[in-house]
């Protein structure tokens, strides 16, 4: 066992070095590197039979079972983490750090500046918020790993907020005017509902934000406190993925590892591609639409205050499609392990969803209150169901079961 583990890590190290090299070099070098990697796998096949069939399916009509094709899936895992997950968290960390800077700049001039100047700064801060929400929508689909610790997913975005926790808790925090609740340690103890982006949205996008900040200057302290937390959290998530998670994907079978094997690691990743599609459909579309047109509730949309619910959807779809196709130059996303027909069908389904989204020309908050917009939103929902099914079927054909008891228990 130890021998194999050691062998694996040596192998991975070599592959990584090769791949690191290739990411800078031109394509032929990349090809050589892969060829070499395959050779190394073949040599080691005597000792570690499972890895000998590193192969991809794209030119095939029949699937190799994932168990039998572990090495190829491992490459997919590492590519996805290195080129999709980690850069997305990096993007979020940068955006949130800018948001923190923007809120600091805004609050600093709150007392001294003219209304015009404040308006300008508020606009800058709102833009910074939008960049943070953009970045979050691109990685919102990842629910496992570091983000599970301390329910940080909910801290970054407490939504849907069915009982108006955010409103109540935010009010409490502002009226208490307790400086200690905004220190790094003190902030951790606050309710999860006030820690994240929806709380920032409430402060920046309301009827009279400037009056509010002027009348209750502590509100600006709260705004900065939340932004600092968002910045720190995103930086930690990125660092934890680099230092703690990435090695788990490089050697999934290591003793005391996070995963059972490569396919277990693959399953965790693929769940972040497939399951969010149902969540997006159920929470971001079907719930606001209600059972019929008369029951539509636009305030159930994800970011109705900042009128960016449609943008969120577009970014979600873009992110999932990137995951599917692959963000590196080799396009080693999930599609590289599926058959041609499956890939074509899934890509077509992505297109259908995007086409429906593109039909909406005004903010979704307004669109769903019109007959035509409501119908289009319903069609987005239907297209998402179709996309979900095609992905789940293709993954199922590869012998990977995303969940059974975990999805429908008793």
Q: Using CB under 8 A, list all residues that contact another protein.
A: 1, 4-5, 45, 49-53, 62-65, 67-68, 146, 148-152, 154-155, 158, 163, 165, 169, 188-193, 236, 240, 244, 248, 253-261, 264, 267, 396, 399, 401, 403-406, 409-410
Instruction: Tell me whether residue 26 or residue 255 sits nearer to another protein (CB atom).
Output: 255
- Can you tell me the distance from the alpha carbon of 294 to that of 108, in angstroms, rounded to the nearest whole number? 46
How many CA atoms within 13 Å lie on the side-chain side of 6?
A: 3
Instruction: Tell me whether residue 163 or residue 215 sits nearer to another protein (CB atom).
Output: 163
Nearby residues of 220 by Cβ (< 8 Å), 6 or more positions away: 103, 106, 107, 110, 213
Reported as type and span, the H/E element at residue 275 is helix 262-279
Instruction: Tell me whether residue 65 or residue 362 sits nearer to another protein (CB atom).
Output: 65
Nearby residues of 376 by Cβ (< 8 Å), 6 or more positions away: 356, 359, 360, 367
Cβ 129 to another protein shortest distance, Å: 22
Residues in the chain, total: 410
Instruction: Tell me whether residue 78 or residue 325 sits nearer to another protein (CB atom).
Output: 78
Reported as type and span, the H/E element at residue 132 is helix 115-137
Cβ 328 to another protein shortest distance, Å: 27
Instruction: Tell me whether residue 3 or residue 26 sits nearer to another protein (CB atom).
Output: 3
Cβ 152 to another protein shortest distance, Å: 7
Instruction: Tell me whether residue 59 or residue 256 sits nearer to another protein (CB atom).
Output: 256
If you compute the radius of gyration of the chain from its CA atoms, what whole number of angstroms results? 24
Cβ 228 to another protein shortest distance, Å: 14
- 236: exposed, middle or buried (Cβ count in 10 Å: 0-12, 13-18, 19+): middle
Cβ 165 to another protein shortest distance, Å: 6
Cβ 30 to another protein shortest distance, Å: 26
Cβ 71 to another protein shortest distance, Å: 10
Instruction: Tell me whether residue 8 or residue 98 sits nearer to another protein (CB atom).
Output: 8
Between helices 262-279 and 309-325, what is the axis angle to 10°? 150
- 374: exposed, middle or buried (Cβ count in 10 Å: 0-12, 13-18, 19+): middle
């Amino acid at each position: 066992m130890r021998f194999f583990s050691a062998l694996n890590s040596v192998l991975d190290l070599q592959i990584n070095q090769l791949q690191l090299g290739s990411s800078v070099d031109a394509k032929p070098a990349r090809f050589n590197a892969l060829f070499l990697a395959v050779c190394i796998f073949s040599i080691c096949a005597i000792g570690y039979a499972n890895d000998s069939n590193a192969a991809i399916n794209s030119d095939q009509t029949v699937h190799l079972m994932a168990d039998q094709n572990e090495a190829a899936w491992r490459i997919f895992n590492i590519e996805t983490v290195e080129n999709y997950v980690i850069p997305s968290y990096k993007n979020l960390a940068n955006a949130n750090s800018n948001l923190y800077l923007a809120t600091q700049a805004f609050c600093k001039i709150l007392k001294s500046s003219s209304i015009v100047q404040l308006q300008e700064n508020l606009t800058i801060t709102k833009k910074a918020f939008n960049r943070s929400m953009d970045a979050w929508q691109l990685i919102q689909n990842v629910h496992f790993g570091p983000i599970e610790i301390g329910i940080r997913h909910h801290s970054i975005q407490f939504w849907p907020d069915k009982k108006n926790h955010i409103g109540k808790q935010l009010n409490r925090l502002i009226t208490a005017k307790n400086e200690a609740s905004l220190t790094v340690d003190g902030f951790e103890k606050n309710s999860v509902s006030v820690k994240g982006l929806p709380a920032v949205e409430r402060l920046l996008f309301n009827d009279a934000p400037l009056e509010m900040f002027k009348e209750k200057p502590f509100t600006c302290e709260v705004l900065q406190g939340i932004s600092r937390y968002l910045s720190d959290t995103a930086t930690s998530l990125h660092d934890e993925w680099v230092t703690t998670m990435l090695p788990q994907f490089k050697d999934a079978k290591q003793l005391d590892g996070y995963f059972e094997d490569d396919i277990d690691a693959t399953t965790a990743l693929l769940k972040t591609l497939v399951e969010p599609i149902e969540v997006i459909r159920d929470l971001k579309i079907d719930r606001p639409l209600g059972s019929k047109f008369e029951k539509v509730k636009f305030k159930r949309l994800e970011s109705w205050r900042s009128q960016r619910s449609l943008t969120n959807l577009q970014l979600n779809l873009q992110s999932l499609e990137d995951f599917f196709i692959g963000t590196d130059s080799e396009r080693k996303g999930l599609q590289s392990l599926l058959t041609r027909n499956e890939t074509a069908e899934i890509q077509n389904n992505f297109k259908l969803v995007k086409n429906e989204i593109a039909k909406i020309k005004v903010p979704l908050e307004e669109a769903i209150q019109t007959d035509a917009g409501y119908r289009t939103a319903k069609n987005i929902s239907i297209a998402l169901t179709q996309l979900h099914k095609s992905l789940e079927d293709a993954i199922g054909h590869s012998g990977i079961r995303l969940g059974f008891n975990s999805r429908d228990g008793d």
